[in-house]
Amino acid sequence: MSHRSIDSTRLLGRIAELGAIGRDAEGRLVRLAASDSEKLGRDRFVSWLEDAGLEVAVDRIGNIFGIWNGTGGGEKPVMIGSHIDTVINAGIYDGCYGVLAGLEVIQTLKSEGLEPRRPIVVAAFTDEEGVRYAPDMMGSLVYSGGLDVTAALKTVGTDGTVLGDELARIGYAGSRAPGFMTPHAYVELHIEQGPVLEREGVPLGAVENLQGISWQKVTIDGDANHAGTTPISMRRDAGYAAARVITFLRDRAKASNTPTVATVGCIAFEPNAINVIPSRATFTVDLRDPDEDRLKQEETALAAFLELLSAEEGVGVSVERLARFEPVKFDQAIVRQIEAAARDRGLPCKRMTSGAGHDAQMIARIAPGAMIFVPSRGGISHNPKEFTADTELVAGANILLDVICGLATGELPR
Identify whether residues 241 and 383 lie together within a single domain.
no
| Per-residue pLDDT tens over the stretch 345-365 | 999 999 999 989 999 999 999
**pLDDT for 2:** 58
353 in the same domain as 236: no
Looking at 294, 325, 356, the residue that finishes a domain is 325
3 is in an annotated binding site: no
- According to the annotation, is 359 in a ligand binding site? no
| Residues 242, 349 share a domain | no
| Residue 184 labeled ligand binder | no
Q: How confident is the model at residue 410 (pLDDT cuts 50, 70, 90)?
A: confident
Instruction: Determine whether the annotation assigns residue 129 to a binding site.
Output: yes
Give mean pLDDT, residues 82-93: 98
pLDDT of 72:
62
The CATH number of residue 273's host domain is 3.30.70.360
Specify whether 111 is located in the same domain as 190. yes
Q: What is the mean pLDDT of residues 97-101?
A: 98
Q: How far is CA 290 from the centre of its chain?
A: 15
382 marked as part of a ligand binding site = yes
Judged against a pLDDT cut of 80, whether residue 413 lies above it is answered with no
Model pLDDT, residue 414: 37
Pick from 405, 311, 410, 414: nearest CA to 104: 405
**Virtual CA dihedral for 273, 275, 280, 284, nearest 10 degrees?**
60
- Could you tell me which residues come within 8 angstroms of residue 264 by beta carbon, excluding any fewer than 6 positions away? 245, 246, 249, 283, 284, 285, 286
The answer to whether position 292 is within a domain reads yes
Residues 224 and 314 in one domain: yes
Q: What is the DSSP annotation of 20-89?
A: TTTB-TTS-BB--TTSHHHHHHHHHHHHHHHHTTPEEEEBTT--EEEEE-TT-TTSPPEEEEE-----BT
Tell whether 414 is covered by a domain: no
242 and 373 both lie in a single domain: no
**Helix, strand, coil fractions of the chain, as percent rounded to 5:** 35, 25, 40
Residue 74 has pLDDT above 90, yes or no: no
Query: Over 90: is that where the pLDDT of 309 sits?
Result: yes
* 2 assigned to some structural domain: no
Instruction: Check residue 40 and give its pLDDT.
Output: 98
Separation CA 356–CA 292 (nearest Å): 16
Residue 3 lies in a domain: no
Q: Are residues 15 and 118 in the same domain?
A: yes
Q: Is the pLDDT of residue 411 over 90?
A: no
184 and 235 both lie in a single domain: no
pLDDT digits (tens, 9 = 90+) for 37-60: 999 999 999 999 999 999 999 999
Q: pTM score, two decimals?
A: 0.90
6, pLDDT greater than 80: yes
Q: 255 pLDDT band (50/70/90 cuts)?
A: very high
Pick from 157, 144, 172, 146: nearest CA to 62:
172
* Last residue of one domain, picked from the residues 293, 325, 357: 325
Range of the domain at 268: 212-325
pLDDT computed for residue 70 by the predictor: 75
Please tell me whether residues 27 and 80 are part of one structural domain: yes
Q: Could you give the CA distance from residue 365 to residue 209 in angstroms, rounded to a whole number?
A: 13
How large is the average pLDDT for residues 332-338?
A: 97
| 334 shares a domain with 312 | no
Query: What confidence tens digit (pLDDT) does each residue in 211-242 have?
Result: 999 999 999 999 999 999 999 999 999 999 99
Is residue 17 classed exposed, middle or buried when 0-12, 13-18 and 19+ CB atoms within 10 A define those classes? middle
Structural domain count of the chain: 2
Domain-embedded: residue 44: yes
Residue 73 — very low, low, confident or very high, per pLDDT cuts 50/70/90? low
Indicate if 52 and 153 belong to the same structural domain.
yes
Question: Is 125 a residue whose pLDDT tops 80?
Answer: yes
Domain boundary among 279, 306, 325: 325
- DSSP states of 274-289 as a string? TTB--SEEEEEEEEEE
Give the domain CATH number at 354: 3.40.630.10
